[in-house]
Amino acid sequence: MCSVQGWIASGISSLKLRTERERPLPLTPPVGPDNVVLAHDDLAILPQSLLIRHISPDHHVVLDENRNVRRISSAAFAATSGDPDYGMSVDVNQLLAEQALPAGHVVPQGMGAVSLIVADLRGKGLRVGSDPTPTNEFHGQVWGVKQATRKAVHRLVKGWVVPLSGVALL
């Protein structure tokens, strides 16, 4: 979004673009009557922002016998069991970065983590929003991750944030 009036008023000699984010972070997600965060797509989370998905070596890694390699399973991109909006937990790197924290800051010891780009997920029709928890203010959700969507989300992985030794991204 361009703020030409702000540019003119400030007398800046070159046009500067404002970010898409119009409100400060941390975000205040909508909540329902039971005080549970509602599924939403928060455009304050910028399209180029990274989302961090934790990878459990015990539950999300499989041996691919065709390629003879350990790799991340598409099950790593499943929605939380029982979530009616099919929300997949992530950390919002934009929130971490605004506090000058590294992307892997809240990844538990012994876990791995991979990155996804917000625009890629929205391009698949998924919604991205914040969903802070009492123990993780950087927590968010990607809503709409149904069984058929997991492989597509897996293919969108951009790289490791916290690598797991001997595990391929594939």
Residue 20 is assigned to a structural domain of this protein: no
Mean pLDDT across the stretch 39-50?
95
Residue 141 is assigned to a structural domain of this protein: yes
Q: Is the pLDDT of residue 126 over 60?
A: yes
Residue 56 is assigned to a structural domain of this protein: yes
Least reliable range by pLDDT among 11-20, 64-73, 82-91: 11-20
Q: Is the peptide bond before 26 cis (omega within 30 degrees of 0)?
A: yes
pLDDT at 27: 76
pLDDT tens digits along 132-162: 999 999 999 999 999 999 999 999 999 999 9
Q: Is the pLDDT of residue 102 over 50?
A: yes
CA gap 50, 96 in Å, rounded: 10
* Cβ count within 10 A of residue 119: 13
Residue 120 is assigned to a structural domain of this protein: yes
What predicted TM-score, i.e. pTM, was given to this entire model? Answer: 0.83
Residue 10 is assigned to a structural domain of this protein: no
Q: Is the pLDDT of residue 34 over 80?
A: yes
- Could you tell me if 112 and 91 are in contact, meaning their C-beta atoms sit under 8 angstroms apart? no
What is the percent of the chain with per-residue pLDDT over 90, rounded to a whole number? 79
Mean pLDDT across the stretch 104-118?
98
Q: Is the pLDDT of residue 36 over 50?
A: yes
Backbone dihedral angles phi then psi of residue 59, each to the nearest 5 degrees: -115, -20
Total of domains in the chain: 1
Mean pLDDT across the stretch 5-17?
29
Residue 11 is assigned to a structural domain of this protein: no
Residue 1 is assigned to a structural domain of this protein: no
User: What is the rounded (10 degree) CA torsion for 10, 16, 20, 25?
Assistant: -60
Residue 6 is assigned to a structural domain of this protein: no
Domain membership of residue 76 as a residue range: 25-168
**Three-state SS string across 106-162, please?**
CCCCCCEEEEEEHHHHHHCCCEEEECCECCECCEEEEECCCHHHHHHHHHCCCEEEE
HSE at residue 107, side-chain half, CA atoms within 13 A, is 25
Pairing state between β 69-72 and 167-168: parallel
